Amino acid sequence: MAASSAQNTNDVTVELACFGVNDQTYGVDVLQIREIVRWQEVTPLPMAPALIEGVIDLRANVVPVVDLGRVLGGEAIEETTEARIAVLEVDDMVFGLRVAVAVDVLSVDASQVDEPPALATQSGYDAVRAVVRRPGEAPVMVLSIEQLLETVYRSAKPASGFAEERV
Amino acid sequence: MAARRKRSNSAASKAQSEFVPEAEEILERMRDDLGLLAETVDGDLNPETINGLFRSAHSLKGLSGMFGQEAMSELAHHLEDLLDRLRMGRAVLDRAGLALFDESVTMAATALEKIGDESEAAALAEGIADLIGRIEAWNAAPRAEAVPVVPELDVPPALLRALTEYEEHRLSDNLERGRGIYVIDADFEIASFEEGLHEIQSAIREVGEVLSTLPSPGGSLESHIRFSLLTATELDKGALVGRLDLADNAIQVARAPLGTAKTEASAPQGASASHDDGQTEAKAAAARAEPEIAEPGTLKSISDTVRVDIRKLDELMNLVGELAIQRSAVQQIASKLAMDPATHRIGTDLAKVHKTLERKLQELQSGVLEVRMVPLRQVFDKLTRVARRLRLDLEKEARLEIEGADTELDKLIVEELIDPLMHVIRNAFDHAIEPADEREAAGKPREGLIQIVASQRGNDVLITVSDDGRGIDAEKVRARAVEAGLVTAESDLTRSETLDLVFHPGLSTRDEVTETSGRGVGMDVVRSNIGALGGLVDISSEVGQGTTLTITLPITLAIIQALLVRVGEHRFAIPLNSIRETLLVEDSDLQRTDGRQLMNLRGEALPLCRLADEFDLDTPETGKSYAVVLGVGDARLGLLVDHLDGQQDTVIKPIQGPIASVRGIAGATEMGDKGAVLVLDVSALVEDVVRKGEVS
């Protein structure tokens, strides 16, 4: 455990914002998060990549929204009182990530971080860049937002102009 | 304070409100420079300070002349004259001269303060006339004339011959002071020579003075350009070489410094040094200056103007937008309360409060908008200058006439207009207006006429640029377009469709390309620049009679009027300024030909497009729909939608990030409780559909 190879996270402590999606816990570097807002209705955007759900109006900005459930190859997130949209900023690109629940912020150090499992057959696994093990609790998959966006870019245009609406 | 109010309300206040702050800024700069001069009046005058003052006096002269302030313009003119003599070394500044400068600046400041005050005008004019008399007297007073001596110097004669009178004077002045004179040769890459040149010039200024900079032959490489810099400094050659980090053979000694040459370790000399000292001691110097000059009664600035970063106004505008959304929430609550008998009273009271809130919000919104508005004069003045220069450069006889310069537009739009308009004017001078003899032969006046007329039409501003030149030959345009493969020889194009081709990238009707109109950039850039501002460009032309370009622009970008439409359950906003009309259409009105959907609109075929098809929306056909007739230039397109939901003021916000950029969508706008609504990019839609039609 102590000798486990750390990836991207070295010996410094990293703070991860943890989100629950489809019974898994995913972590995103808090430095990439601008804010977390409540669920709001998304306006569908025609002709956009299939994994873009649409746009929301965030005060002075209109930002595209991606559904974490669908990007990882699973079901879209349903509207609940716990569902949130995390607004992320990566390389000047601002977008919303729809999650089922915002759990908490976790401080992890290098000793807890492992490489992702080798058998990454499950779709969406390429967006997981590391795994944080926690004794007695479910591991946290650390997401590579850049990789996530890659997946979104590559997603084909839908047959219909709008992504199917799932409410 | 009362006088100030009165002034800003007077009829001519608009012009004055532009004049006073600018004049104040100039005077402020002159005061600073005079402070520096007072410090060094008995010793070395810093040529840069004199030049600065000269430029200020020149600007003040132009500015006050433009606003009809004759007396002040006359005063500035005399100061400019005097300063010109000083910088040329034809006069020597003494304390009396300096006092005259101080008095002039004070007098100008007083005149500014009392501007528009008729009762004081006569006394002021008298005071200024008296001052001008004394300046002339000082100017005429006999003084030991400085005789410029340029001894034998080891400088290329070509370089010496190229010196202006001022540069010659600076050279002899520096020689008199015993400084070393050097010729520094430096090579730069052509692509980036401005930067390199600037760098070396600043380095030299730290230790001396650049007398003259000339491009010279003998650059080592084809891609390089060589400059010779005639330089004066107290450093000896070795120190200079070290200082500038140049090869030893790049510096030729024209004359070594006399006496004890300073070595690198000594304090830097020249321009920057005296400048710095001057600033710290300027005040003390001003106090010492004789005779004492009475400052104006107050040091407060006269104008009540503030300069504001336009982004701050954008922030305010956003806030107003958000308030408007809160307002609609209040309205909903009020009507809910009013419906319930138990709370009816409170509801109606709240509705009244809401009414006032709404009115005040509108006032706030138009107030913020008004601040952003500036007259087109700012652009037109620049165009006049360009026209004057083109007239000389091209030796064409043509004049520019301007009308409607007071028409106001959003500051951001005005800024972005300069380039496209400049291009249009250049085109007109360069291509449209014929040489005078040719015009005469064609029975036209020798002098060509280019007219710019601006006017406001509702929420739009119309700018037409017309010339009486040779006009555009539609047949030639067509031939070039066929050649370039833009259209086929068989294409059936109307005359206006043909003319519209000049906006196509890469099409120029003149074979040779001249410097003024530039290559590459053409009318397509003009159209896309104007399009980016939400505007439209139309062209019309008659061979032999001239060309007219009509530019339609929204007054502001901050808020646009939009029509809300519905397709199935999807809602879109369409900017109202690109909508020509809306029609109710039955399925039986529609015709299909060659895969294009058309309808008959007052005898003309209007191409149609279902918004649902364009965006691949799954919506049931309703059998009845609305056609929103969009117009971009002369192109028309009927967009079929299910419902019209009325108009609304909207603030368009672009969608963040490239990932969600979709052709045909310009951005989104907030609609209160309804979330974001997508705004259509009308020109992209029309272009796509019209082009598709051409292909099929």
Q: How far apart are CA B88 and CA B605, in angstroms?
A: 73
Q: Which CATH architecture has domain B157-266?
A: 2-Layer Sandwich (3.30)
Tens digit of pLDDT for each residue in B11-70?
456 566 777 878 888 888 888 888 877 776 666 677 778 888 888 888 888 888 777 788
* pLDDT at residue B388, rounded to an integer: 83
Q: By three-state DSSP, how is residue B653 classified? A: strand
CATH fold of B376-554 reads Heat Shock Protein 90 (3.30.565)
Helices and strands, counts by H and E, chain A? 2, 11
Identify the closest residue of chain B to A157 by CA–CA distance.
B616
Contact map slice: B 465-494 vs A, CB within 8 A: none
* pLDDT at residue B217, rounded to an integer: 67
* pLDDT at residue A64, rounded to an integer: 92
Give chain B positions within 8 Å (CB) of A87: none
Instruction: Determine contact, residues B554/B534, Cβ cutoff 8 Å.
Output: yes
Q: How far apart are CA B507 and CA A38, in angstroms?
A: 52
Task: Please confirm whether the linkage preceding B291 is cis (ω < 30° from 0).
Answer: yes
Give the pairing of strands B536-542 and B546-554: antiparallel
B573 CA: distance to closest CA in chain A (Å): 13
Kindly state the helix (H) or strand (E) to which residue A52 belongs, with its residue range. strand A52-58
| Residue B186 phi, psi (nearest 5) | -140, 135
Average pLDDT over chain B, rounded to whole? Answer: 77
CA atoms within 13 A on the CB side of A6: 15
Higher pLDDT, A98 or B91: A98
CATH number of A14-154: 2.40.50.180
Kindly give, in sequence order, each residue whose CB lies less than 8 Å from that of residue B677, ignoring residues fewer than 6 positions away.
Answer: A43, B564, B571, B572, B573, B650, B668, B669, B670, B671
User: Cα Rg for chain A, rounded, in angstroms?
Assistant: 16
CB atoms within 10 A of CB B21: 18
Nearest CB to A153; choose among B315, B617, B659? B659
Tokens 């009927």 found at: B638
- What is the arithmetic mean of pLDDT over B529-536? 80
What are the residues facing B631 on neighbouring strands? B636
Instruction: Determine contact, residues B128/B75, Cβ cutoff 8 Å.
Output: yes
Q: How far apart are CA B140 and CA B143, in angstroms?
A: 9
Give the distance from CA B251 to its chain's centroid. Answer: 41
Residue to test with chain B: of A37, A38, A45, most B Cβ within 10 A: A45
Identify the closest residue of chain A to B658 by CA–CA distance.
A93
Residue B281 banded pLDDT, cuts 50, 70, 90: very low
* pLDDT at residue B463, rounded to an integer: 94
Tokens 């967006």 found at: A127
Token pair listed for B132: 């001008």
Tokens 């209040």 found at: B330
pLDDT at B631 over 60: yes
A157 CA: distance to closest CA in chain B (Å): 11
Domain boundaries, chain B: 2-140, 157-266, 311-374, 376-554, 560-695
Supply angle C-alpha B578, B403, B437, rounded to 5: 105
User: Cα Rg for chain B, rounded, in angstroms?
Assistant: 33
CB B670 to CB A160 under 8 A?
Answer: no
For chain B, how many residues are written? 696
Q: How far apart are CA A96 and CA A88, in angstroms?
A: 6
Contact map slice: A 5-34 vs B, CB within 8 A: none
Q: How far apart are CA B12 and CA B26, in angstroms?
A: 21
CATH number of B2-140: 1.20.120.160
Instruction: Determine contact, residues A97/A144, Cβ cutoff 8 Å.
Output: no
Q: How far apart are CA B351 and CA B332, in angstroms?
A: 9
Instruction: State the count of interchain CB pairs (< 8 A) between A and B.
Output: 95
Q: In what order do the strands lie in the sheet with B570-575?
A: B643-650, B560-567, B570-575, B676-680, B665-670
CATH fold of B560-695 reads OB fold (Dihydrolipoamide Acetyltransferase, E2P) (2.40.50)
Residue B275 banded pLDDT, cuts 50, 70, 90: very low
* pLDDT at residue A28, rounded to an integer: 93
Give the distance from CA A92 to its chain's centroid. Answer: 17
DSSP letters, A69-127, are HHHTTSPPPPP-SS-EEEEEEETTEEEEEEESEEEEEEEE-GGGEEPPPS-TTSTTGGG
Tens digit of pLDDT for each residue in B641-680?
988 988 877 777 778 776 667 888 888 887 766 678 898 8
Tens digit of pLDDT for each residue in A112-140?
888 776 655 455 567 788 888 888 888 88
Tokens 């005058």 found at: B45
Token pair listed for B186: 């430096």
Kindly give, in sequence order, each residue whose CB lies less than 8 Å from that of residue B619, ignoring residues fewer than 6 positions away.
Answer: B567, B568, B570, B612, B642
Q: Does B651 touch chain A (CB under 8 A)?
A: no
Q: How far apart are CA B59 and CA B32, in angstroms?
A: 16
Nearest CB to A60; choose among B318, B615, B618? B318
Kindly state the helix (H) or strand (E) to which residue B14 belongs, with its residue range. helix B13-40
Q: By three-state DSSP, how is residue B305 classified? A: coil
Instruction: Determine contact, residues B592/B682, Cβ cutoff 8 Å.
Output: no
Kindly give, in sequence order, each residue whose CB lies less than 8 Å from that of residue B398, ignoring residues fewer than 6 positions away.
Answer: B387, B391, B428, B429, B433, B447, B448, B449, B450, B467
Interface confidence, given as ipTM, is 0.71
Comparing CA positions, the residue from A18, A77, A150, A59 lying closest to residue B319 is A59
Q: How far apart are CA B128 and CA B114, in angstroms?
A: 13
Comparing CA positions, the residue from A165, A41, A78 lying closest to residue B619 is A165
Q: Tell me, what DSSP letter sits at residue B673?
A: G
Instruction: Determine contact, residues A64/A54, Cβ cutoff 8 Å.
Output: yes
Contact map slice: A 72-91 vs B, CB within 8 A: none
| Residue B4 phi, psi (nearest 5) | -65, -45
Give the distance from CA B578 to its chain's centroid. Answer: 26
Tens digit of pLDDT for each residue in B149-185?
555 677 777 777 777 777 877 888 888 777 888 888 8
Average pLDDT over chain A, rounded to whole? Answer: 79
Kindly give, in sequence order, each residue whose CB lies less than 8 Å from that of residue B227, ignoring residues fewer than 6 positions away.
Answer: B185, B186, B188, B193, B197, B213, B214, B215, B216
